[in-house]
Structure 1
Amino acid sequence: MRILRISTATNNRTGGMSRAMYCAGDALIAMGHQVDYLFGEHWQVSNSVYLRRLAVPLQIPALIYSLAQKGKQYDIVEIHEPLAAPYCFNRKINKNLPPVVVFSHGLEKRNQLAELAYRQQKYLPVSLPLRFLRITVLQAMYGLRHCDHVICLNSEDIAYLQQIGVAKNRITQADNGVESQFLLAGAVLAQANLSRSGILFLGSWVLRKGTLDLVPAISQVMQRHPSLQFTIAGCGFDADTVLTDFAEDIRSRIQVIPKLSSNEKLIEIYRQHSILVLPSYFEGQPLTMLEAAAMGLVIVTTNICGMADFIENGINGMTVPVGDIESLTQSLDHLVSNPALAQCLGEAAREKVQAYTWKSAAKKIAKAYQQAIDDASKKN
């Protein structure tokens, strides 16, 4: 199968979305498929994410036509959800275009609804586009309804797709995977049975990741535990910018690492901590969660999206309601005070994540591709 995968993500194997695309793509190649990519660097448009999501979709149909004229034929085109609408529209006109699978890393409409609900919960300003209309969301919804198949990462997204009328046989849930490096490092660490401590937040320092709730929760826990260390990694901002959110008396115990450039550095960061905190109000299925599980960290996260699919509260981690600072604080404090419990829950997460391989993910993705191809051929 000849596959073209399209996204505006940065072409970077350490980035979240692009790393997931490459890992699944490598597994598809190992299965015998041909995989090509078009990442953000290909598109000659503004660096603004919003403008890219408006301009890039319009370029995709012409690009596919051009590649075909040059002899570059594909059996299937996979397009990131916000970019798919113009291609799906063109396919209605020209059935010779390859079938299209829309890949969602978290449904755009559900993200909008989650942000709106969160801002209202926290009495934050709500813009008119957020409340009523986002062009990128409209594009995404058209693509979801008119593509040949949809791949998404969690059961809540699947339920929403069916709610808006997307047929069940046009939807595939394909979990993310964990690279073997993390699984092996986690196994070695478990055998060593070393004592670990410290809380880790790994992700962009943005509202969606729950930073508004994280700061007061972490601050309270650090005040109660004077030796506790906290790390903020891969946040995209320098230490001076991030630390202004925290009281001066705890800043010396907070390490800020703006960027992580390799799996080895990621593994070293995980190895130094016992708890991963991820209080997002919306996600698809975060790689951070699965990698931390592979490394035996206990995960404290919100009870939504791909986190709810993986974490069973009190069994292999702890979940809290979105925006609930008190519950987040109590969960973190309980684990810091009970390292044996943290280790037990972390080990349960490590056992569960063994099944989350990129080979398994690629098999589901390839099956979705073939379903799209078969359904398209029946229509033609």
Structure 2
Amino acid sequence: MSRVMYCTGDALIAMGHQVEYLFSEHWQVSNSIYMRRLAVPLQIPALIYSLAQKGKHYDIVEIHEPLAAPYCFNRKINQNLPPVVVFSHGLEKRNQLTELAYRRQKYLPVSLPLRFLRITVLQAMYALQHSDHVICLNSEDAAYLQQIGVAKNRITQADNGVESQFLLAGKALAQANLSRLGILFLGTWVLRKGILDLVPAISQVMQRHPALQFTIAGCGFDTDTILADFTEDIRSRIQVIPKLSSNEELIEIYRQHSILVLPSYFEGQPLTMLEAAAMGLAIVTTNICGMADFIENGINGFTVPVGNFEALAEYLDRLVSDEKLARSFGETARQKVQAYTWENAAYKIVSAYKKTIKADTNCFD
């Protein structure tokens, strides 16, 4: 999320706008995640108001969805607070509903908070319904916002972007026309990323293709913890990279692989997918959220139903067996992603800001 903020912020600054970030150093709270979820949202309106008292005026305040409720409430009381745009990187309520459905599909335990109450979901729902404007990242989220009563003219569906480094590296790689074979999973090793489907699907494909290499990068866990989920006969062909620290490192990892697998049950619009497309990887992912908006099944990648590891294994096997098909998908995705720049993303965000400011001004006409 912070990468998205900085990349869009840089593009906005290049367009002549002034952007300031308020991050964790501004909040006086404990290190407890639970306490931060409760305390940080309450401090935001007070901080903005105190800055205004010191002469710091903002035309727009953009707040991440789960943190915005207290500010939205305070703005209804104090119209002098700047209008607020809520930015959702994946609607909290839809995340809850999809996790609940996925757990039931997989016969996993369901906690009471997941079934009935989550503080972040309650905060998010209030913010979405009482903000001046909402920016989301996929068509399913945009449709859901209208279902819960957010007016269409208060919704902007934006896209994430790809940094020029990836676009240039992908172009050079396409021109080099090098042969490469390997499957990459890039993301945290958590349930939402579809690891329960990934493990059996990858295991089947690797057993069918004895030379196939598989990389798990940016997973957040050590090698032994990750490899424990796989059978011993394929562990030697699995590379685990717990943390990534630079775009150069990311680009090198993409360069070594031909296929990206992303079987998440919920996302906003994953940067991983767009970066992999920029690097010419064939993508196998689920037919939901921002993945479904970008991947046209059978044209620039494959999409599978959530939780269907058999289909995931089948499509991965097809791409591993058919290098020409994988190259074709990768090149088609690479061509499509050229339009997904941070500059284009910033234009949509600025349009949402201007619409919000205009609507706020008209309230006082």
Equivalent residue for 1:83, pick from 61, 67, 77:
67
Structure 1 pair 46–329 and aligned structure 2 pair: CA distance change class (3 A) = farther
In 1, the alpha carbon distance for the partners of 2:300 and 2:273 equals 12
1:136 Cα deviation after fit: 1.1
Partner of 1:143: 127
**Unmatched tracts of structure 2, length 5 or more:** none
Question: Quick check: 1:130 aligned with 2:121?
Answer: no
1:135 Cα deviation after fit: 1.5
Amino acid at match of 2:50: S
1:173 Cα deviation after fit: 0.6
Equivalent residue for 2:275, pick from 286, 291, 298:
291
In 1, the alpha carbon distance for the partners of 2:52 and 2:27 equals 18
1:190 is paired with a residue of what secondary structure?
A: helix
**Which string of whole-angstrom CA distances, capped at 9 and with x for unpartnered residues, describes residues 32-69 of structure 1?**
00000112343232434443222110000110111111
Equivalent residue for 2:87, pick from 87, 93, 103:
103
Partner of 2:345: 361
In 2, the alpha carbon distance for the partners of 1:27 and 1:236 equals 29
Partner of 2:218: 234
In 2, the alpha carbon distance for the partners of 1:219 and 1:55 equals 44
**Which string of whole-angstrom CA distances, capped at 9 and with x for unpartnered residues, describes residues 85-136 of structure 1?**
0000000000000000000000000000000000000000000111111121
In 2, the alpha carbon distance for the partners of 1:240 and 1:218 equals 18
Structure 1 pair 212–355 and aligned structure 2 pair: CA distance change class (3 A) = same
Equivalent residue for 2:139, pick from 155, 175, 188:
155
Question: Quick check: 1:69 aligned with 2:69?
Answer: no
In 1, the alpha carbon distance for the partners of 2:164 and 2:227 equals 34
Structure 1 pair 79–49 and aligned structure 2 pair: CA distance change class (3 A) = same
Partner of 1:3: none
Matches within 5 A, 1:104-119: 104-119=88-103
Structure 1 pair 236–86 and aligned structure 2 pair: CA distance change class (3 A) = same
1:200 is paired with a residue of what secondary structure?
A: strand
Q: Which deviates the most, 300-309 or 39-48?
A: 39-48
1:109 is paired with a residue of what secondary structure?
A: helix
Amino acid at match of 1:164: I
Structure 1 pair 46–216 and aligned structure 2 pair: CA distance change class (3 A) = farther
In 2, the alpha carbon distance for the partners of 1:215 and 1:46 equals 37
**Which string of whole-angstrom CA distances, capped at 9 and with x for unpartnered residues, describes residues 214-255 of structure 1?**
011101110110110000000111111111111111111000
Structure 1 pair 194–113 and aligned structure 2 pair: CA distance change class (3 A) = same
Identity %: 84
Cα root mean square deviation, aligned: 0.8
In 1, the alpha carbon distance for the partners of 2:288 and 2:276 equals 18
Partner of 2:286: 302
Partner of 2:27: 43
Q: TM-score, normalised by structure 2?
A: 0.98
1:354 Cα deviation after fit: 0.4
In 2, the alpha carbon distance for the partners of 1:175 and 1:53 equals 26
Equivalent residue for 2:185, pick from 192, 201, 208:
201
In 2, the alpha carbon distance for the partners of 1:237 and 1:276 equals 19
In 2, the alpha carbon distance for the partners of 1:328 and 1:208 equals 16
Structure 1 pair 96–285 and aligned structure 2 pair: CA distance change class (3 A) = same
In 1, the alpha carbon distance for the partners of 2:143 and 2:252 equals 37
In 2, the alpha carbon distance for the partners of 1:27 and 1:274 equals 30
In 1, the alpha carbon distance for the partners of 2:330 and 2:32 equals 39
Amino acid at match of 1:144: L
Partner of 1:332: 316
In 1, the alpha carbon distance for the partners of 2:30 and 2:345 equals 33
Matches within 5 A, 1:219-230: 219-230=203-214
Question: Quick check: 1:311 aligned with 2:295?
Answer: yes
Question: Quick check: 1:271 aligned with 2:234?
Answer: no
1:34 is paired with a residue of what secondary structure?
A: coil
Question: Quick check: 1:24 aligned with 2:8?
Answer: yes
In 2, the alpha carbon distance for the partners of 1:271 and 1:193 equals 11
Partner of 1:54: 38
2:20 is paired with a residue of what secondary structure?
A: strand
1:202 Cα deviation after fit: 0.3
In 2, the alpha carbon distance for the partners of 1:338 and 1:41 equals 50
In 2, the alpha carbon distance for the partners of 1:334 and 1:341 equals 8
**Which string of whole-angstrom CA distances, capped at 9 and with x for unpartnered residues, describes residues 259-282 of structure 1?**
110000000000000000000000
In 1, the alpha carbon distance for the partners of 2:155 and 2:79 equals 21
Amino acid at match of 1:271: R
